[in-house]
């Protein structure tokens, strides 16, 4: 009983495999299964030939279709497009869940805006709750019912999230390293 409460009781008995040796298991309705390396962990998808091979492997019916000639660009550009596709796919999935939640009338229980006692500038603001916005109808009608300041805040946050992270800067060299290189 006390062994279950020990901080090491849930520790794995074997160390996890390094990322280079891990593989994804794909199963079908048959009795056999195959173990394949994850295609997104290798560098073979950084040119047109790699993109074409991956496209034919994942969707043999359509095959490779590249109307913008992205496959002819540099490895970095292909990586940037792949990263953007994954990010925007995740945003689309979250938007779909949000659309379904809003369509079913589920909302936060507090107020969206109202007068604040600490500022005279907000004393004349009407009280608007999330339930008031939800009662406007579907998600498009709810967007129209939002105050302009709320719409502006949403758009600013989305714009902030679209700013790419800065690349890491190299650490400053010490005087000893500079002298050693001379």
One digit per residue, the tens of pLDDT, for the chain of length 182 reads 455 555 555 555 555 555 555 555 555 555 555 555 555 555 667 788 888 888 888 888 988 888 888 888 888 888 888 888 888 899 999 999 988 988 888 888 888 888 888 888 878 888 888 888 888 888 888 899 888 988 999 999 988 888 877 665 665 565 555 555 55
pLDDT of residue 1: 47
pLDDT of residue 63: 86
DSSP element (H, E) containing 95: helix 75-103
Distance CA 145, CA 170 (A): 48
0.85 surpassed by pTM? no
pLDDT of residue 168: 59
Q: Which residues contact 54 (CB under 8 A, 6 or more apart)?
A: 39, 45
Six-digit token string for 116: 């604040």
Distance CA 9, CA 60 (A): 47
Beta strands in the chain (DSSP E): 24-27, 33-36, 111-113, 128-129
Distance CA 107, CA 56 (A): 44
| Sign of the dihedral defined by the CA atoms of residues 74, 43, 39, 169, in that order | negative
DSSP element (H, E) containing 180: helix 175-181
Domain ranges of the chain: 37-104, 107-163
Distance CA 35, CA 21 (A): 11
Burial class (CB in 10 A: 0-12, 13-18, 19+), 105: exposed
């Amino acid at each position: 009983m006390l062994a279950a409460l020990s901080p090491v009781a849930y520790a794995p008995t074997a160390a996890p495999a390094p990322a280079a040796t891990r593989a994804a298991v794909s199963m079908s309705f048959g009795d056999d299964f195959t173990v394949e390396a994850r295609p997104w962990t290798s560098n073979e998808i950084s040119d047109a030939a790699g993109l074409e091979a991956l496209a034919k492997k994942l969707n043999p019916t359509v095959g490779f279709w590249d109307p913008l000639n992205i496959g002819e660009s540099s490895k970095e550009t292909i990586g940037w497009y792949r990263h953007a596709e994954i990010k925007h796919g995740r945003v689309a999935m979250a938007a779909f869940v949000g659309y379904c939640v809003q369509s079913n009338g589920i909302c936060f229980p507090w107020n969206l805006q109202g007068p604040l006692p600490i500022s005279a500038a907000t004393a004349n603001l009407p009280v608007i709750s999330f339930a008031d916005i939800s009662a406007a109808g579907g998600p498009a009608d709810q967007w129209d019912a939002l105050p302009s300041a709320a719409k502006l805040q949403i758009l600013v946050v989305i714009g902030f999230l679209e700013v790419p992270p800065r690349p890491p800067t190299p650490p400053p060299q010490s005087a000893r390293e500079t002298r050693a290189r001379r």
